[in-house]
Structure 1
C-alpha cells in the first residue's frame, strides 16, 4: 500500500468524530450547486453541522426531470431529489428512503426511467401549491439532515455561447440551449446565461445565504450547476453582501464537454468573469489535482481567497470526492478560517 493511501486511511479514520459536535455550537452552512457535485458536499457537510441548507439549480431539462418539466410545466425536480437523498442519514431509515427516492422504474411504458422521488416531489407541489413547503415535507419524511430549496421558483433555461460547437466551424461562436446539451457540448464554452435573464430568487434561499456563517459553492458541473447561482440577481446580491465566509470547492478533474482541458485556475477565472464583484475566502482543492500551485494561488488571490489543499478524492482512484475526507477538509477550514470562539 502506498504512503498516500496509508495517510488517507488515517484521515478517514478520524472523520466519524466530526459528527459529535454539540448542538448550538455548529456553523450555519448553505451549500449551492446541483447534481452529483452538490450531493458530494451535502454528504460531507451533514457530518459536521446540523444547520445545513442546500440551494439547488432548477435549469435541468434532461431525463425524468425534463419530461416532467415539459409535460407539467413544473420545476425540474431531479437535482432537488438528489440533494434530499444526500441529506438522508446513515441509519437504516435514512438509507432506505434514500434508495427509494432514487429508484427508477424500468418498463416499456410512460413510467420508464422516472425516479420515484421526482414523482413524489411533483405530486406534493401540485397538492400544496408551494415549492418550499412541499420540499420541507419530503425532507421531514426522509429524516433529512438539512433543508433543500430551489434557487428560483420558475423553471430556467441555460444558454451558453460556445466556440467551435460545430467542428466544421471551429472559430465560430454559437448559442447552445439547455443544461443537458451545455453539459456535453463539444467546443469551448465562453459564457452562460439564463432565460429568463432576471429570474426571481426563492426568498428563503436568499435569507439562508444572508444568515449563514459559511457558504459553500461547488464542486459540480461548472457552467451548468455552479455558475448558474451567480446569474440570479437577488441570490448574487446576497452572496456579495452576506457576512458569511465563502469557500469554493473545486472539481477533481475537468469535465468532458463543458470544461475539457480546464486547469484549476481557469475554473476560477471563468467564475470571476461571470461574477466580478463576488469575493471568496477559501478555495479548496485536492492536493493531487493541482499541478501548478502557484498559478492557482494567484488566481485565488484575485478573488480574495486563500487556497487550501487537502486529500479529498476517493482513495480508489475514481475521480469522486470521499465524503469523510471532504468532511474533514470542510471542518478544518471552518475552524481555521471561521470566527474566533464558539459558533453563534
Structure 2
C-alpha cells in the first residue's frame, strides 16, 4: 500500500471519527453549544458595558474586510472559502482539544475518546442484570456480560471455607474473599496489570504461599473499614469496577448437608466431595440476613441469572438467604438458570438438567416456597464425542444431558447454546463470550415477546 493510499485511509478514518461526535447521546454537543452561547452572551455584556462601541467597531471592521475580499474574488467563491476555513478551524480546534483530554485521562490507552464515549453510552443504556452464584462460573459469566451492560450486580456466596479464603476465614475471622475477588477482577475496567496484581497468587514464602494478593487486600480492607461490604466498595473504586459486587449476606455462614445414606457433613469444601447423593442443604446460622443493596438490585432488575457454577456449593447457598428468595419471587424480571456443562463427581453425579432444576426446587421447598423461581433454563447443546469428553468421563464426570421436550412439557422455557466456545481448550468450561451472548439472546427474545 502506497503512502497516498495510507493518507487517504487516514483522512477517511479521521472524517468518520469527527462525524461520530454528531451522534446523539454523547452529552458533548450540548455543552459545546452551551459554551459557545455563553461566550457570545459574555461578549454582548462587555459590549453593553462599553456603550456598544465594540459592536460598532467590529461591524465596521468586518464590512471593510468583506469589501476587500470581494474585490479580489467574487462573492460566490469568497463565501464558500470562508465557510470552509471556519469549519476547518472548528474541527481542528475541537479534535486537538479532545485529543489533549484523551492523553490526560488515559495516556497509555489506544482507545479514541469518541469511541470510548460511544461504548460507555451503550453500556450505560444496557439492562440491569443481577447475576447470582459463586466460584469460577460466576466470574466467567460476568467477564462476558460486561461487554453488554454497565448495570451489573453480582450477588456472591460467602460460604467458602477452603484454600486461601478458608485460611483467612479461620485465622482472621473475615468472610471468605476468594469468590468476591474473582468477580471484582472480572468486572474491572482498569489496566490489565492491576487486575493481574489482584489475582496474583504467592508461590512461596512462609505464611504467604497459596494466598492471592487480592484476598489479602480485601481482608486488610475489611479490618480497616469494619466490614467486607465497605472493603468491596473501596476495591471497586481502585479497579474501576463496571457494576457492583455484593455478598449474599454479611453473616458468617457455614454450610451443612444431609446425604442420602443418612450422614451429615459440614463445610463447603467437604460437601463438594460427598460420598452419597445430597438430599438437603442448610447453613449455620439459619435464615441469614441479606444486604439491602442486594435486595434493591433485585427489585430494579431487568434480568436475573442464577449460575453457572457448582450446584450445592456455589448456587444453592445463595438461596439459603430467605430475603433474597423473597425478592426474586416479587421481581417481574425474566429469570434464567444456566446449567453446568458437566456433572461434578461427589456433588451432582448422575444429574441431568431436570435433576439440577429439581434440586433447586427441593431446596426452595425447605423455605416453604412452592413457586418456581427459575422457569427458564440455558443448557449446553449436545457435546460431540471427543478425547476431552472421554478424559472427563474417566474422572467420573458426564455431560449434563437436557431432555428439551420433557422440560418444555412441564412448563420450562429451554434454550440450548454452544456455551463451551468455538475453540477447544484443555478443560470443558463455559466460555465467557459464548455464555454471555446466549444470555443476551434470551433477554432480547423475552423483550420482543413482552413489548
Q: Same fold (TM over 0.5)?
A: yes
Higher RCO, Cα 8 Å, sep 6+: 1
Determine if the alignment matches structure 1 residue 160 to structure 2 residue 249.
no
Q: Which residue of 2 aligns with 1:32?
A: 132
Quick one: distance in 2 between partners of 1:64 and 1:292? 34
Q: Which residue of 2 aligns with 1:312?
A: 419
Deviation at 1:21, TM superposition (A): 7.3
Q: Alignment RMSD, CA only?
A: 2.1
Quick one: distance in 2 between partners of 1:111 and 1:136? 25
As a proportion of its length, which structure holds more helix? 2
Determine if the alignment matches structure 1 residue 334 to structure 2 residue 443.
yes
Deviation at 1:139, TM superposition (A): 1.2
Determine if the alignment matches structure 1 residue 242 to structure 2 residue 242.
no
Number of residue pairs aligned between Structure 1 and Structure 2:
311
Quick one: distance in 2 between partners of 1:256 and 1:273? 20
Larger radius of gyration: 2
Q: Which residue of 1 aligns with 2:380?
A: 286
5+ long unaligned stretches in structure 1: 1-18, 164-171
Quick one: distance in 2 between partners of 1:300 and 1:95? 43
Deviation at 1:88, TM superposition (A): 2.2
Q: Secondary structure at the match of 1:181?
A: helix
As a proportion of its length, which structure holds more strand? 1
Q: Is the 8 A contact 2:123 2:147 kept in 1?
A: no
Correspondences of 1:30-179 after superposition (within 5 Å):
30-89=130-189, 93-163=190-260, 172-179=261-268
Quick one: distance in 1 between partners of 2:429 and 2:287? 33
Structure 1 residue aligned with 2:294, among 205, 217, 224?
205
5+ long unaligned stretches in structure 2: 1-118, 365-369, 384-398
Q: Is the 8 A contact 2:380 2:417 kept in 1?
A: yes
Quick one: distance in 2 between partners of 1:37 and 1:225? 9
Determine if the alignment matches structure 1 residue 190 to structure 2 residue 279.
yes
* TM-score when normalising by structure 2: 0.65
Deviation at 1:325, TM superposition (A): 1.3
- 1:71-125, CA deviations, whole angstroms, 9 ceiling, x for partnerless residues? 1211111111111111124xxx442222111111122411111111011111111
Q: Is the 8 A contact 2:184 2:241 kept in 1?
A: yes
Deviates more, 1:282-291 or 1:176-185: 282-291
Distance 1:231 1:339, change over 3 A: farther
Distance 1:301 1:152, change over 3 A: farther
Distance 1:119 1:291, change over 3 A: closer
Determine if the alignment matches structure 1 residue 324 to structure 2 residue 413.
no
